Structure 1
Amino acid sequence: MSARVVLVLLALTLALPAIAQVNFGLGSDLSLEIAPEHPAPGNIVQISAHSSLLDLTGTTLTWYENGKQIGSGAGLATVEITAGPLGSDTTVRVVAESDGELSQAEARIRPVEIDLLWESDSYIPPFFRGRALPSAGTNLRLEAIPYFKKSDGSSVPVGDITFTWKRNGYVEQSVSGRGKSEISLSAPALFGTDTISVEGRAKDGLEGSASVRIPSREPVVELYEAHPLFGTLYHRALGRTTNIPETESSFAAIPYYADATSPGDASLTYEWRVNGNTIASDPERPSELTINAAGSAGVARIELALSHVTNFFLSASGVWNVLFLRDGARNPFGTQ
């Protein structure tokens, strides 16, 4: 999570002659820098004074937080404060005294938070605990959840916030605008990584931002047993070498993160081979394979190559060695 603060910078020079008169000048070029640039509530915030005209190392600097002095000393160009909670408004002011002249600068800190959630529309099986990750050809779904509070404690409605979405620093104009907290974007290119960021701004000046780096990854094919009663046993993927205590068994291929809506998506092409021999796919269930090992012994080497009819970037493959045994049935919900 990240937050953005609103900065109001003021640079003044106060000439103090012997008579009771105050003259204002703008020659100090005194400014403040905040780190982190977008502090969240409760963050330790470092505030540094800078000037291209004043030698701050020999200048007496006095710091104030909401009018209360928090530090003073020669060359004291940096202080730290703790950002307040959501809805707080903190003003930090520094006064520099050099050769009888006073210069000052102010920074206003109003922490907000934005949570940035994302997932892909790539395929993942039921009960999968992770998020759907993007592969080339899929889309990203993103949602910004802003926590913007006014000084009176009320929240700013999402519809009153203008969101600006960027990919790798470039504005995505078509999905940016007032109330546009949920968007869809194309996934990163093959082997690529995109940085997606969002900035939210309310009418009263509250402003926040968040960003995330999203890499593209290749689809992965896993093989599971397809039980005649319980269906695909998603809790137990086959290892590269597996013992099956039956002479006949069916298997289901699951294309994780593929550009598809289901394993049986018509856009997917499955090419099966068993012990080097090409096996024709079942037109109704191309993602499944049944092997009858009755009367034979040894290991069945199952190979699968997955491709896409139109998405030429989609390519995945797998190899599994299955030893069919004859020592009776086993518990389909076991771990071995």
Structure 2
Amino acid sequence: MKNFILKKIFLFVIIAGLSAFAYAAAPSAGDLDNIKFVPENPGANTTVSAQLISYTFDANRATIAWIIKGKVEGTGKNFSFTTGDIGSETILTVSVITADEKTLSKTFTFRAVEADLLWETSTYAPPQYKGKTLASPQSEIKVTAIPHGMKISDTKLIYEWKLNDKNIPASSGAGKNSLKFYMPETGAETVAVTVSMPDEKTKESATTTMPALTAGG
């Protein structure tokens, strides 16, 4: 009797374990989060390639449709499209019917945004000089990010600054659209910024490099 009970318990554990595994592996809309977009944050009029990667269903045997503006623009695991002008939105829906006829769907929104970097320096220039003053050793530089197409106030955008690939937390955050620093004695400085919406779903990056004039001119 004892052996019989142990066998029943052991059998129940095996069945329960298999059921849990089957449940965990069942495809869901969340599985479509594994779609790879290149680039991840495209700007305006940019070609984007998409690849569906699945770990819970066989993508090779599934029926996959890529839909824009209610029209099927492509089928299969791979797809490409082009974003619109600055400020426009491309709404892409991925619809999947798996081999066992489960239906999955997910929608992605791509906002065509861009960012420019403008810089100015405190370097002295004589009144008759008509050009832009250039960076010189130890001169103060101010770099300002100008986003395009974000459609919300600049004060609500998140700015993440880097100087020579190093994060600058003190100068980053909501509404912090400029960065100040001093040029070194020699060499160039590379400034990068990532501008994003508060929901982090829309972002754009820009980079500029400023070579310094030598002390001798």
Superposition RMSD on alpha carbons, in Å? 3.1
Of all paired residues, the percent bearing the same amino acid is 23
Aligned equivalent of 2:195: 200
Q: Distance in 2 between matches of 1:128 and 1:58?
A: 66
**SS of residue in 1 equivalent to 2:135:** coil
1:157 aligned onto 2:159: no
**DSSP-derived class of the 2:53 partner:** strand
When residues 43 and 214 of structure 1 are mapped into structure 2, their CA distance, relative to the original with a 3 A threshold, is same
Q: Which residue of the partner structure matches residue 61 of structure 1? A: 64
CA distance in 2, matches of 1:90, 1:42: 11
d(CA) in 2 for partners of 1:104 and 1:84? 23
What displacement does 1:64 show?
A: 0.9
Matches within 5 A, 1:234-273: none
1: distance between equivalents of 2:120 and 2:55?
Answer: 46
Gaps of 5+ in 1: 1-23, 150-154, 220-313, 318-336
Give the structure-1-normalised TM-score.
0.47
Q: 2:209 aligns with which of 214, 222, 225?
A: 214
Structure 2 counterpart SS, 1:50 = coil
Q: Secondary structure at the match of 1:117?
A: strand
User: 1:75-114: per-residue Cα shift (whole Å, max 9, x none)?
Assistant: x222222213344333212233342244444322122222
Q: Secondary structure at the match of 1:29?
A: helix
Counterpart position of 2:148: 147
Match of 1:35 among 34, 38, 42: 38
1:50 shift after superposition: 1.9
Q: Secondary structure at the match of 1:185?
A: strand
Structure in which a larger fraction of residues adopt helix: 2
Higher strand share: 1
In the TM superposition, 1:64-213 aligns within 5 A as 64-72=67-75, 76-100=76-100, 101-124=102-125, 126-129=128-131, 131-149=132-150, 155-187=151-183, 190-194=186-190, 196-203=191-198, 207-213=202-208
Q: 1:191 to 1:119 in 2, by over 3 A?
A: same
What's the CA shift for 1:205?
5.6
Larger radius of gyration: 1
